[in-house]
Amino acid sequence: MRKKIAAANWKMNCTLQQAEDLLNKLAAVETHLSNEKISIIGVPYPYLLLAKEKLQTKENMFVAAQNCYTKKSGAYTGEISAEMLQSMNIPFVIIGHSERREYFNETNAMLAEKINIALEYKLQPIFCCGEALSIREAGSQNSFVENQLKESLFHLSEEQILQIVIAYEPIWAIGTGKTASNEQAQEMHQHIRNVLANKYGTSVAEKISILYGGSVKGNNAKELFAQKDVDGGLVGGASLNADEFTTIINSL
Ligand code: 13P
């Protein structure tokens, strides 16, 4: 059985005090998590260890970094390596968020390198893909997303691809309050699973969690997560409110 996942992406939000407050609240709320239903909290780098400490008693709630660099170590001022994350026992890392692609010029080829180094250091990547509005309006979202997957993931072995969590995040739905309809989400998730199945076989594709991201809220999570190929969500804005994010977790 593939895992159901409610993942938070705090992005570049929260002062230390706000982060502490939010983590205290998350540590205190009642969540119905299990081995099959997990939560992942993606916090800014400076709060990774704090988040680990605050959530250490929360079973099946894990911490993620939001990025890492392509290189092992060296003179790359301001960057963070996969080895550093591994040394802090961080289990997950978000790779290829559309904001990284757009503002930091991350290409599919560069993301393939990030995936490789993350796996080398035993981090589980949450790989983001998704199209801009113009691509959807032109009706070419399926081939666009397929190409993202091919160029960044399809060099991986079967064993490696099973380590990947995929997050489909249509850019037109991110932070806009405009959610993909249940049908649009299911259609793309099914497409992604088919693309994976064509490359790695159905039984592998069936084991990979595919999350939806883009204006997931407490009041739409349940319907989205009920779609056959939607295995949870990657949540931005609504993850900054502990009560709302708890509702999302409990919608799994
Ligand atoms: P919002 O939930 O704020 O739309 O952000 C989605 C996202 O980008 C998560 O990575």
The per-residue pLDDT for range 18-33, each reduced to its tens digit, is 999 999 999 999 998 9
Give the global pTM: 0.97
| Ligand 1 centroid to residue 115 C-alpha, Å | 21
Over 90: is that where the pLDDT of 177 sits?
Answer: no
Q: Phi and psi of 149, rounded to 5°?
A: -65, -45
Question: pLDDT by residue (tens digit) across 121-158?
Answer: 999 999 999 999 999 999 999 999 999 999 999 999 99
Kindly state the helix (H) or strand (E) to which residue 16 belongs, with its residue range: helix 16-28
Over 90: is that where the pLDDT of 172 sits?
Answer: yes
pLDDT at residue 197, as a whole number: 98
Q: For the chain, list the domains and their CATH numbers.
A: 4-249 (3.20.20.70)
Model confidence at 4, pLDDT cuts 50, 70, 90, reads: very high
Q: Which has the minimum average pLDDT: 71-85, 134-148, 174-188?
A: 174-188
Q: What is the mean pLDDT of the chain?
A: 97
pLDDT at residue 66, as a whole number: 98
Ligand 1 pocket: which of 216, 240, 247 to mutate (most atoms <8 Å of CB)?
Answer: 216
Percent above pLDDT 90 for the chain:
96
Choice among 99, 106, 146, 169 that is catalytic: 169
Q: Phi and psi of 181, rounded to 5°?
A: -65, 160
Across the range 159-175, mean pLDDT stands at 96
Residue 36 appears among annotated catalytic residues: no
Ligand 1 pocket: which of 165, 235, 240, 244 to mutate (most atoms <8 Å of CB)?
Answer: 235
| Ligand 1 centroid to residue 87 C-alpha, Å | 28
Q: Say which amino acid occupies 100.
A: R
Over 90: is that where the pLDDT of 175 sits?
Answer: no
Model confidence at 58, pLDDT cuts 50, 70, 90, reads: very high
CA neighbours closer than 13 Å in the CB half-sphere of residue 127 = 30
Instruction: Specify the ligand 1 atom closest to the Cα of 176.
Output: 4
pLDDT at residue 1, as a whole number: 78
Residue 169 appears among annotated catalytic residues: yes
pLDDT at residue 188, as a whole number: 98
- Following CA atoms 50, 55, 60, 64 in sequence, which dihedral angle do they give, to the nearest 10 degrees? -20
pLDDT at residue 110, as a whole number: 98
DSSP 170-238: -GGGTTSS-PPPHHHHHHHHHHHHHHHHHHH-HHHHTTS-EEEESS--TTTHHHHHTSTT--EEEESGG
Across the range 194-222, mean pLDDT stands at 97
Question: pLDDT by residue (tens digit) across 94-131?
Answer: 999 999 999 999 999 999 999 999 999 999 999 999 99
Across the range 180-202, mean pLDDT stands at 97
Model confidence at 44, pLDDT cuts 50, 70, 90, reads: very high
pLDDT at residue 22, as a whole number: 98
Over 90: is that where the pLDDT of 176 sits?
Answer: no
| Ligand 1 centroid to residue 166 C-alpha, Å | 14
| Ligand 1 centroid to residue 231 C-alpha, Å | 16
Ligand 1: list residues with CB < 6 Å. Answer: 9, 97, 169, 174-175, 213-216, 234-238
| Ligand 1 centroid to residue 201 C-alpha, Å | 30
Give whole-number Cα distances, 31 to 28, 52, 72, 243, 245, in Å: 9, 17, 37, 11, 10
